Amino acid sequence: MDMEPKGPMLGLESSCDETAAALLAPDGRVLAEALLSQVAEHARFGGVVPEVAARAHLHHMPRLAARVFAEAGITPSELGGVAATSGPGLIGGLIVGASLGKGLALAHGLPFVAVNHLEAHALTPRLPGLLPEAPAFPYLLLLLSGGHCQCVAVEGLGRYRRLGSTLDDAVGEAFDKSAKLLGLPWPGGPHLERLAASGDPKRIPLPRPMLGRPGCDFSFSGLKTAVAQAVGKLTDEAGKADIAAAFQASVSAVMADRARNALGMMPGATALVVSGGVAANGGVREALRGVAERAGLPLIAPPIRLCTDNAVMVAWAGIERLRAGLTDPVDHAPRPRWPLAELSPAGERIS
């Protein structure tokens, strides 16, 4: 059953350390958006503390939701539906966003969509107005964030095939851990990139794990150990920039190699899409652009604010699913673990 949303979609995101709400018109216009990063609350612990995150979501989410309604000048009864990230992620935060979403849907008789956070990242490049032309299915998605690191064949709405993923740390996690070893603040990715700009990537070479291996899995824990050893041998502060540069060069080379193999595993791909916080990294982007160019495909990187966690992408996934008649009951239970492949229609699960 196809359903056109009768009004704007409310999107709620609370799966990790961003509390976010957005109102999105069915034509893709962002009517209002509010996002609160909890970086300051977690920084002194050097990473996301689940209990701190859950409490912060609980504290901020109702206020952020009220703010987007006020900004857009609409009331919940005018909505076309409610979409809330319902997994995968930290369960405390998921419960906060999903409960608010289900409560609003129930109170106002609105359709509810339990959004898979990974699907929201995967569908972002289809947001109308974002690109001159939305990529056609199938396309290759590289999801590169602090919590996720995978190559996904996006074959259609709800049809995803994971081609490869990390065997240990996510790439953003590797950036953060290596940055910490270099004495940089958390989250370290952007700091490491800045430091790398003044370093020599060749002076202290680092390993390039998985490079040249078949498939498109990743592994970053060995690289992080190599960074620790290199830092231990340093005799001058300036060497830190060289290690940062070597680290970024290593990750970029590995990324290009894995992306090339992933494209080889999905003939017919129309584009290479990169998303997640690490998509902000210039070195990684440049390496991926080279791969896409050689394959004759466009490299699509949504603007950073839509690459990192946000509620606009959740609302958009909600609109896409609602249009396809894929709504969820209000007793849908949030799922800390929720692989993308499980969204595929029964009988079509490939990975």
Q: How far is the CB of 13 from ligand KG4 (least distance, A)?
A: 10
Residue 325 CB coordination number (10 Å): 10
**Residues in a beta bridge with 21:** 12, 34
Least Å distance, CB 166 to ligand KG4, is 13
Q: Is 7 annotated as a binding residue?
A: no
Residue 277 binds which entry of Zn ion, ligand KG4, none, with Cβ cut-offs from 5 to 8 Å by kind?
Answer: ligand KG4
Give residue for tokens 């799922």.
335
Q: Is residue 206 part of an annotated ligand binding site?
A: no
Q: Please give the structure tokens belonging to residue 44.
A: 């002194």
Long-range contacts of 104-111 (CB under 8 A, 24+ apart): 104/10, 104/65, 104/76, 104/79, 105/81, 105/330, 106/330, 107/76, 108/76, 108/77, 108/79, 110/76, 110/79, 110/80, 110/81, 110/82, 111/3, 111/80, 111/81, 111/82, 111/322, 111/327
Query: Among ligand KG4, Zn ion, none, what binds residue 201 when CB lies within 5 to 8 Å by partner kind?
Result: none
Question: ω before 135 within 30° of 0 (cis)?
Answer: no
Q: Specify the residue, 103 or 339, whose C-beta has the smaller distance to ligand KG4.
A: 339
Q: Is the dihedral of CA 67, 40, 316, 326 positive or negative?
A: negative
Q: What is the DSSP letter of 166?
A: B
Amino acid 194 reads R
**Considering the complex, what minimum distance in angstroms separates the CB of residue 346 from Zn ion?**
26
Q: How far is the CB of 171 from ligand KG4 (least distance, A)?
A: 8
Q: Which is nearer to ligand KG4, 242 or 309 (CB)?
A: 309
CB-nearer residue toward ligand KG4: 105 or 195: 195
Residue 35, class by beta-carbon neighbours within 10 Å (0-12 exposed, 13-18 middle, 19+ buried)?
Answer: middle
Calculate the CA 255 to chain-centre distance. 16
User: Known binder of ligand: residue 332?
Assistant: no
Site residues, ligand KG4 (CB under 6 A): 16, 145-147, 172, 175-176, 187-190, 193, 276-278, 280-281, 308-309
Q: Which has the closest alpha carbon to 76: 64, 86, 66?
A: 66
Question: Does residue 18 touch Zn ion according to CB under 5 A?
Answer: no
Q: 309 labelled as ligand-binding?
A: yes
Answer with the entry of Zn ion, ligand KG4, none that 150 interacts with (C-beta below 5 to 8 A by kind): none
**What residue 338 binds from Zn ion, ligand KG4, none (CB within 5 to 8 A, per partner kind)?**
none
Q: Which does 10 bind (CB under 5 to 8 A by kind): ligand KG4, Zn ion, none?
A: none
Burial status of residue 200 (CB atoms within 10 A of its CB: 0-12, 13-18, 19 or more): middle
Sketch the per residue contact string, 108 through 147, with Zn ion: x for CB under 5 A, - otherwise.
-------------------------------------x--
157 interface partner picked from Zn ion, ligand KG4, none, CB below 5 to 8 A per type: none
Six-digit token string for 291: 């791969």
> Quick one: 176 or 257, whose CB is closer to ligand KG4?
176
Does 309 engage in binding with Zn ion (CB under 5 A)? Answer: yes
Interacting residues toward Zn ion by CB under 5 A = 145, 309
Binding region for substrate: 143-147, 176, 189, 193, 281
